[in-house]
Every structure is written in structure tokens, then in C-alpha cells.
Structure 1
Amino acid sequence: MTAAAAPSSCTLGVIGLGSMGLGAARSALRRGLATWGCDPQPAARAAFEQAGGHAVQHPSELAPHCDAVLVLVVNAAQTEAVLFGEHGLVHGLRRGAVVIASATVDPALPPQWEARLAERGILLIDGPVSGGAKKAAEGQMTVMASGSDAAFAAADAALQAIAGKVYRLGDRAGIGSTVKMVNQHLAGVHIATACEAMALGIKAGADPRQLYEVICNSAGMSWMFENRVPHILDGDYTPLSAVNIFVKDLGIVLDAARALKFPLPLAAAAHQLYLATAAMGLGGEDDSAVVKYYAGLAGLDLPAPAAKAAP
């Protein structure tokens, strides 16, 4: 399912105005949806208000105004607080409204949220997203969605406003999060492998930029290699997606696999690399900082940040 221009009859709430949430909220405004934003940080609320939206501190404040609410927070605990906490959505959303839960979480949790919301007549789309801050800002995120027919009907305008592709994966919550879990397995392993490969090339004496160009035009290239290695080449580890995100997400992957008694040796090895990098005090840096773990082991000189031009 590919998104088109969204009608303006739906009022959307976006909870979590971080790099992706702010981009999604701004995209919804551009596509004609009345949009409310929610974030505990005053700076995030101010940024959204500058774009023309309404911003509030608590989910319960926007709930009465919204037909659909996109929840783009960090993890399951934050999602549960947004839904059911003291200032949660359940204290204000009308019957028939829909929540699109987009954090990467254990696939066992969305069915529980779906059942609890259904008791209040509120619908749920289990809708994790991919595409990062860039795709969110363009309104071109990929949504891996599952839920009832009624939930999809209620969420249609909102999904069209924020997404380039919406994959309808099943009629119950949990399937969307399962597919996102598999995506994060691959993404985490690919980033760790890209860092390992670049460290190997540098140790062996290859020019890092030439190595990058060659691999991007060869069979070893992956999307993550192409996307993350420039951070290493520029010596810029500003967190677009932090090391700690993959400590969490690969932890979710491994926990789910353990429950299934399914071995994941590659994911386990990659998880250890993110844990080791975080233990070095680098958990808040971009996930490409895994290369610094290898640099520390092998005594490598990584590319330095470009010198800033004099004022």
C-alpha cells in the first residue's frame, strides 16, 4: 500500500517530538491534517509550534481533540505510560479513535495493549516504522502495520499523511512488531559488520574513502554500510540512531528468540559489540561508533572530524 495525499477530516496527535516524531508531525501538517504534538521537553514543543502545530506536555491534553494518535517514543515502558499512565491517552480518547503504536517493542506486548484499549472502545494499530529522521521529515516512512479492519479504517488518513509505504501485515496486533523485530535484527548486524569491515580495511592499510567507494559499487554493499560509513569517514558520531538503541533492540530480538528456543548467533555477537561500545561510555553516540571499539582493540587512527571554518 503506497500513501497518497491525505484528507483533512482527521485530527492527528503525535506523541514524542524527537527526530522522527517531529518530522512525522510536520509532514502531517503539510498534507493538510490538523495536528497536535506532545513532548515533555519545552524545546521540542516550541519547534513544533513554530511549524504551525498545537503542542502540549501530556498525552491526556491532546487526546480529546484527536481521531488518531501516533506514538513515537523510545520503548515499551514509555508507550505504556503514554497509553495508560496518569496522564495517558485512555483518560481522553473517544470511542472509535485509533492509536498507532510505533516504538520497537517485544511482539508479545501490542496484543495486550490492543485488548486493554478495546475495553474502552479504542482501536490499535501495531505500527512500527522505518526510515529514520530523513524519511519522517519527507512523510515517507515505511510502516509495518497490523490490526483490525476497523483500526485500519480509522487510521487511514493518518497513515497516508506520514508514510510512503504502509504494509498491512495482519488483522491482529503483534505481527507488525514481529516484522520490525526481524528488520532490527538485520539492521543491527549490518551496522556492526560495516564497522568491523571498515576497521579491518583501515588496519590493513586501505584508504577509508576509496574503500567505501569500492564497496558501495560491489557485492558486499548493504544499505547500512552505505548510510553509516560516511559518519565514520567524517568523524561525526552525532547520534541519528544511537548505540543504546541497538542495545535495546537486539535485546528484544534475543529475548523473543530465547522464548522460541531459536538460536541467533549473529545477533548475539552483534549485541555484544553494542554492549561493549556502550561500556566504553559511547552509548549515546551514533551507532556507527561501534568502529571505535575495534579502533581501541587494534590501535587504529580513525578519520578525524573535519576542521571547522574560521568565522
Structure 2
Amino acid sequence: MAEKGQGAGPGAGKAGGASLRVAVIGLGNIGLGAACNLLRAPGLDVTGCDLGEAARAAFAAEGGRAVAGAEALPEGTEAVLVCVVSAAQARAALFGPRGAASRLAPGAVLIVSSTMAAADARALAAEAAARGLLYLDAPVSGGAVGAREGRLSVMASGSEAAFAKAAPVLGPIAGKVWKLGDAPGLGTTMKVVHQLLAGVHIAAAAEAMALGIKAGIEPQALYDVVTNAAGNSWMFENRMAHVLEGDDTPRSAVEIFVKDLSLVAELGREVASPVPLAAQAQQLFVAAKGLGQGGRDDAFVIRVWQAITGIALPEKDAS
């Protein structure tokens, strides 16, 4: 079931017009854009949280306030959007020694958008329930641009109570909220399946671009033809634009797909469904990380082919 995200209207955060106290943990590519949209939404009182000084400064530049540790969030925080990378980071941010749990109001909702295995989501949900907290398993797709524009796709599962409590937070950040069921783990499973496609598409896009360049086709012409032909994909059009610009600033990093395609392989083993294309794509991302590209934009998995074939890639315009 899909629902269009709806922005919270005036006073929508809580009955009587009081502001809903919201925290966003992880002010990276997704979290910063989401936090800025929440900051602009009526009825919400938003605090950001990130260990990185630069991330906190970026949120402050938008008019927000941020803390370095979740233990410093405002007392009585009622909703937490978690935008960290992994299950381990999510657990530490919520339930670790410097976690948010001690700062939360009874019945607060945890909206966890990290990509993880379903078993990890279920374990986090169980710990939340033991503490009297609601849990929404809610990974997202849409990248930094989708987060900034408030049109993330949210793949969510959880109780009706969790969806209801999370609605004022999801509204300003989501283009669509997909309700996948009431059991935590369904959202993360959907995201892992999605990442199979995303990772394979990026690797295939880089392979095609590298082959064309090696065969003598001018990179811009190659891009223009593919993006106006049947072989195009969203990932080719989006990621190979980064290659043409020579800009490896990480919107989503190579090492993310090393992790996420590992989750794909784990899921395949669990349900006895082979994932050979995902396995091969993962090895390409592993090779890119081995070349020192782990922290660079995932489009630059193409540097694996550059290392093998010696192709020249476009360079960033110094002007």
C-alpha cells in the first residue's frame, strides 16, 4: 500500500498546537536534507545530531540546532529519525551508552532508515518495545536530492500506532510512504532487494561507459545516446553524469554498496535464492575500495575499468 507523503499543517505535530519534539540522528546526505525539511515544517521542534562538526555546522547554517551526541537531545523527545549507515550505528545511537533512549518521552517513535538485515530490524524493534517505545522499520530511497526536495520513497513496516505517531515526520520528507505490513523487517527486506537492483545498475552503467570510452566513443556523446535510447536506466543517467563532470564527491559512496550487496548475499542465502549478478557487482565495488575509492562517489566504481584498461576519464572543471 502506498500513501503520498503529506506535510504537517499548522499545529499538526500535537493536539492543542504544541510542537512535536523531533530528533534527526545522522546529518549526512539523507539526514541533512530530511532535517532541513522538518525544520521548515509547521508544528515540529527539530534537533539534529551528528558526531561530525561539519555536519552540525551545515545544519546550523540552515537555522537548525544540533548536538554531537544523542544523550544531549532535548528531554522528552517524541520522534527520532535515524539516518545512520548500519544496524550497529543505529543501535549505538538509540540504545548505547550515548544513545537517545534516556532522552525520549514514553511512547516515542523510532523511525529507523538505516539499511540493515531484517533480523537486525526485528531485534531493534524488540528492544524498543521493551522500553515502551514504538518502532517503524523505514529505510528510504531517493538520495541526497530526494531528501533535499522532500520526496524520499519510504519503505516502511510497523504497527498502526507507529505509523500514526511517525506521520508528522514522514509527511515533510516523503514523496511516497509504502506500507509493507505490520512486522518490523519487511521494510528492510524491501530495501535490500532494492539495493540489489541499484548496485547492479551502477556497475552495469560503469561497465558500459568504460567499454564505450575504450572503443573510442566520446564520453558526452555516449551519455547522450544512451539516455535517449532503450538501454537507459535511472542509475546510468544519474551516476554517469557524475563521471562526465569528473566529480567524485560522495553523494552515495562506493563502500555503501560493499555493505549493502553483502546484505543482498546474506538474504539470498537465508531464503535459498541465488544472486549471481549482485555477487559480481559487489566484487567490483570491493575492487574499487581496494583501489582507494571506498569513500568516493559510487559512480567511480568505473575506476576499476580505468585501472584495467587505462581509459581516460573526464576531469573536473577547475573553473
Question: Normalising by the residue count of structure 1, what TM-score does the alignment of the two structures yield?
Answer: 0.96
Of residues 264, 278, 281, the one that matches 1:267 is 278
SS state at 1:285 partner: coil
Q: Which amino acid aligns with 1:13?
A: A
Q: Which amino acid aligns with 1:38?
A: C
Unaligned runs of 5+ in 1: none
* Structure 1 match to 2:105: 94
Q: Note if 1:115 corresponds to 2:117.
A: no
Q: Which amino acid aligns with 1:86?
A: P
Structure-2 separation of matches of 1:265 and 1:82: 34
* Structure 1 match to 2:69: 58
Structure-1 separation of matches of 2:246 and 2:54: 27
Of residues 4, 9, 13, the one that matches 2:6 is 4
Structure-1 separation of matches of 2:226 and 2:74: 48
Native 8 Å contact 1:28 1:139 kept in 2: no
* Structure 1 match to 2:17: none
Q: Which amino acid aligns with 2:278?
A: A
Of residues 90, 95, 111, the one that matches 1:84 is 95
Q: Give the aligned length.
A: 308
Q: Note if 1:19 corresponds to 2:29.
A: yes
Of residues 147, 157, 165, the one that matches 1:154 is 165
Distance 1:63 1:263, change over 3 A: farther
CA deviation digits over 1:59-96, x for unaligned, max 9? 12225242110000011110010111001122221221
SS state at 2:48 partner: strand
Structure-1 separation of matches of 2:245 and 2:60: 33
Q: Note if 1:279 corresponds to 2:281.
A: no
Q: Which amino acid aligns with 2:26?
A: G
Native 8 Å contact 1:63 1:89 kept in 2: no
Structure-2 separation of matches of 1:17 and 1:236: 21
Q: Displacement, 1:4? A: 1.8
CA RMSD of aligned residues (A): 1.2
Q: Displacement, 1:47? A: 2.3
* Structure 1 match to 2:203: 192
SS state at 1:177 partner: helix
* Structure 2 match to 1:228: 239
Q: Which amino acid aligns with 1:27?
A: N
SS state at 1:170 partner: coil
Structure-1 separation of matches of 2:58 and 2:248: 23
Q: Note if 1:218 corresponds to 2:229.
A: yes
Runs of 4+ in 1 over 6 A off after TM superposition: none
Structure-1 separation of matches of 2:293 and 2:59: 29
Q: Displacement, 1:305? A: 2.0
* Structure 1 match to 2:45: 34
Q: Displacement, 1:150? A: 0.8
Structure-1 separation of matches of 2:157 and 2:121: 10
Q: Displacement, 1:244? A: 0.5
* Structure 2 match to 1:68: 79
* More off after superposition, 259-268 vs 243-252: 259-268
Structure-2 separation of matches of 1:183 and 1:136: 17
* More off after superposition, 45-54 vs 141-150: 45-54
Native 8 Å contact 1:277 1:283 kept in 2: yes
Q: Note if 1:251 corresponds to 2:262.
A: yes
Q: Displacement, 1:53? A: 2.3
SS state at 1:99 partner: strand
* More off after superposition, 14-23 vs 3-12: 3-12
Native 8 Å contact 1:185 1:250 kept in 2: yes
Native 8 Å contact 1:105 1:177 kept in 2: yes
Native 8 Å contact 2:87 2:115 kept in 1: yes
CA deviation digits over 1:193-251, x for unaligned, max 9? 00000111111111211111111111110000000011111211111111101001001
CA deviation digits over 1:251-280, x for unaligned, max 9? 111112112222111000000000011111
Native 8 Å contact 1:29 1:35 kept in 2: yes
